[in-house]
Structure 1
Amino acid sequence: MRFLPAKFLLLPATQCIAIAGMILGDGYTFLGFGVVVLLALVLDRFDDRSDYDDRLDVGISGKALVYLIVALQAVLIVTSLMAATSAHSWIGVVGVILTLGQLLGLGAVDVGHELAHSRNRLDVELGRAVIAPCLHTSSIIDHVYRHHAAVCTADDAVSAKRGEPFVAYFRRSVVSQNLWAWNFAAKRMRHLDKSVWSLSNAALRGHILEVAYLLFAVLVFGWIGLLVAVVAALIAMRAIESISYIAHYGLIRVPGTPCCPRHSWNSRRTISSGYMLNMTSHSHHHTTPSLPYWDLRVKDDMPILPLSPGIMSLIAPISPLWFRAIEPAIADWDRRFATDAERALLAEQTWRRPSRQGRSTGGLPSGA
């Protein structure tokens, strides 16, 4: 048996630093946020060259790390809300919001996602609980039951179209995921001859967890607690959706054809892959969804993001910077990876900006 690679300790270590910052209070509440910025944005310059075919026998340590991160997230939430209510200035509250929001988003992207793909029902429910403080539990249902089947097609809400700005994508994606998840769960309830308001409704259970979290924040920590919980959740939701935005941006697949490694963007950056529990090996995950995070790898012939995931996520809402970074990679994908049938679908899967007259205008074309 081998130990987990040390890079996977980055998130729990950062959670511990953030918790310490919350206990110290005021300016120290920025500690966790600062560590993430330093590591994921400034120092994430080295590539992980693990052998693609190498599989790690990590025993119980792989799953134990997931549960540890879940436990630390719970402690972080409580200490963060305590720090916000006892802060001597709004500076401390801002630090709480930034740190909590960023780390909730990271926890949802990696641990929530990992648990959502588990075959153990309790793990799936735990994953739902991890994402509940992000107020985005519908994303679990959409991800497992729609995204994996429809990835890179027009039917997938979280596959960003070419030329689609992040703000437009965010609005469309969040609304679509919530509506689709509810309709999917309601249809399942009708199939089982149960009420849509039954607790068997997974979408309803998720929303109950979200409301329970907000009630906990306001009843125990007052209106400041509720404010921090809501704003941090929006930051976390933005983090989740920005990762989804960059994961498949501009890539095209013919409906009904297999999902291949070329249909996801990847990154070899060591720090990002550690923080995200190898979700940077996105192609491998989509071709083998049941594979545990520690066995996900990136091959040289997979589409690679031009910059680290942290930087790509940061610039995603800034359209001029985003398009300048991604368009050369998109043009390269068209040349090296796309099939003729996928190129033929380009016009269909290019974003159209609604005009004031109700018509639509073309989005930014590849290479623009």
Structure 2
Amino acid sequence: MKIFLYLLSLSYPVSTVVGAQFEASWGAGAYFVTPLVLFLLFPLLDSLVGKRWSSQGPAVESPGLSAWPLWLTYVLAAAHFGIIAWGLWHVTQVPLSVMAYLGLSLSVGLTTGAMGITTAHELLHKKSPFQRGVGLAMMLGVSYMFFYTEHLKGHHKHVGTPADPTSAPLGENFYRFLLRSTIGIARFIVQTERKTLAQRGARFWRWDNPTVWYGLLPLWLMATLVLTLGWKVLPFFILQSLVAYTLLEVVSYIEHYGLARRVQSDGRYEKVRDDHTWDADFAWSNWATINLQHHAHHHAQPSLAFPYLQPRQNSPQLPFGYPTMALVAFVPPLWHRIMDPRCQAWQLNAAESVA
């Protein structure tokens, strides 16, 4: 029954919908409940619950439990689509001030980022075409279907090297990372697909190139929403997509900051190890992100279902969970003060182990 603790991910859509019910008494502030839950309540609960119950699943995948993680991801996927639909309905049916509109877009974006993209990430790593299809549909909901190509073909192969735009080098602040990563991802996706198609003697602009569809489908969806619901929904959909994408990027920034793989004597990069990923072994935020913070184990076994991900002994540990570290990342001087000494200590230990 402990697996149902991961339904705490539903805190995001629930807080968004419930908060909106208090608009009459709270005004525009009713639409800012979700940011308070994610960035204030969850860090507090992390400090209270601690690390004692961080690993709730068995260390080895159990056939008797294998169906439960899948069904839980489907529940979270349904909640992802549901919160987007509710948000679209809300902006068309409820008169909103500019501040309330922005608060609603922020709260839905944090929900689709923290719960939706995390769940889509889980599904996109599966072998089943249906599960991957659900994951891609979820990424369509945040206008970032390119994540499939970038993450599976790029990040897991090139993590910790200059070839991975989503690995942040030591000293880079989040805002510079966000710009560099966004441009780098676009360049990587185009180059990767061009190379793949060239090997088949095919052109880039063709109907069966998935990258072209990953770009066209979000535009088609936005046009459909405008034609059926009106122009009022377009800024909401774009804003929530941008918030979700930014949250994804800040998590990427946190996960591998300053942990670079070394070039070996043969000119190749060393294999990905547990100490190339920052982990955060805090129970509450792991429950609320389906063990996303056990990221080193995920890199070791990408297709392993989330309840079986465990803390890795050799992975460097963040001082706080992802929600707190995301806030810290938005303040570069504070981030560098906290993280740079830890990275330098890691580099020293890595150099000593090689010596």
* TM bucket, shorter chain: 0.7 to 0.9
Matches within 5 A, 1:50-199: 50=55, 54-55=59-60, 57=62, 58-85=65-92, 86-199=94-207
Partner of 1:11: 9
Does structure 2 retain, via aligned residues, the 8 Å contact 1:152–1:252?
yes
Does structure 2 retain, via aligned residues, the 8 Å contact 1:186–1:201?
no
**Residues of 2 paired with 1:64 and 1:280: CA distance?**
21
Structure 2 gap segments, 5+ residues each? 263-267
Partner of 1:36: 38
The one of 209, 222, 238 aligned to 2:246:
238
Letter in 1 for 2:5: K
The one of 275, 282, 285 aligned to 2:298:
285
Matches within 5 A, 1:240-319: 240-254=248-262, 255-319=268-332
> 1 or 2, which has the higher helix percentage?
2
Partner of 1:322: 335
Write the deviation string for residues 109-165 of structure 1: whole angstroms up to 9, x where unpaired. Answer: 411211121111232232222122333222221111121111111211111011111
**Residues of 1 paired with 2:73 and 2:165: CA distance?**
27
SS in 2 for 1:140: helix
The one of 225, 228, 232 aligned to 1:220:
228
Write the deviation string for residues 70-127 of structure 1: whole angstroms up to 9, x where unpaired. Answer: 1111111111122223234223212211111101111344112111211112322322
**Residues of 2 paired with 1:338 and 1:108: CA distance?**
39
> What count of residue pairs does the alignment treat as equivalent?
340
Deviation, structure 1 residue 190: 3.4
Partner of 1:229: 237
Deviation, structure 1 residue 326: 0.4
- Which stretch has the larger CA shift, 307-316 or 18-27? 18-27
TM-score after normalising by structure 2: 0.87
Return closer, same or farther for 1:322/1:89 CA change in 2, 3 Å cut-off. Answer: same
Return closer, same or farther for 1:238/1:55 CA change in 2, 3 Å cut-off. Answer: same
Structure 1 gap segments, 5+ residues each? 344-368
**Residues of 1 paired with 2:331 and 2:227: CA distance?**
37
Return closer, same or farther for 1:231/1:88 CA change in 2, 3 Å cut-off. Answer: closer
Does structure 1 retain, via aligned residues, the 8 Å contact 2:274–2:312?
no
Write the deviation string for residues 307-355 of structure 1: whole angstroms up to 9, x where unpaired. Answer: 22111111213110110110221122123345566x9xxxxxxxxxxxx
Deviation, structure 1 residue 207: 1.4
Q: Which has the higher contact order (CA 8 A, sep 6+)?
A: 2
Write the deviation string for residues 263-321 of structure 1: whole angstroms up to 9, x where unpaired. Answer: 10001111221222112011111111121111111134321012221111112131101
**Residues of 2 paired with 1:264 and 1:9: CA distance?**
25
What is the root-mean-square deviation in Å for CA atoms of aligned residues? 2.4
- Which stretch has the larger CA shift, 238-247 or 27-36? 27-36
Letter in 1 for 2:12: T
SS in 1 for 2:12: helix
Identical-pair percentage: 25
Deviation, structure 1 residue 212: 2.5
Does structure 1 retain, via aligned residues, the 8 Å contact 2:56–2:307?
no
Partner of 2:265: none
SS in 2 for 1:298: coil
**Residues of 1 paired with 2:315 and 2:108: CA distance?**
33
**Residues of 2 paired with 1:19 and 1:158: CA distance?**
32
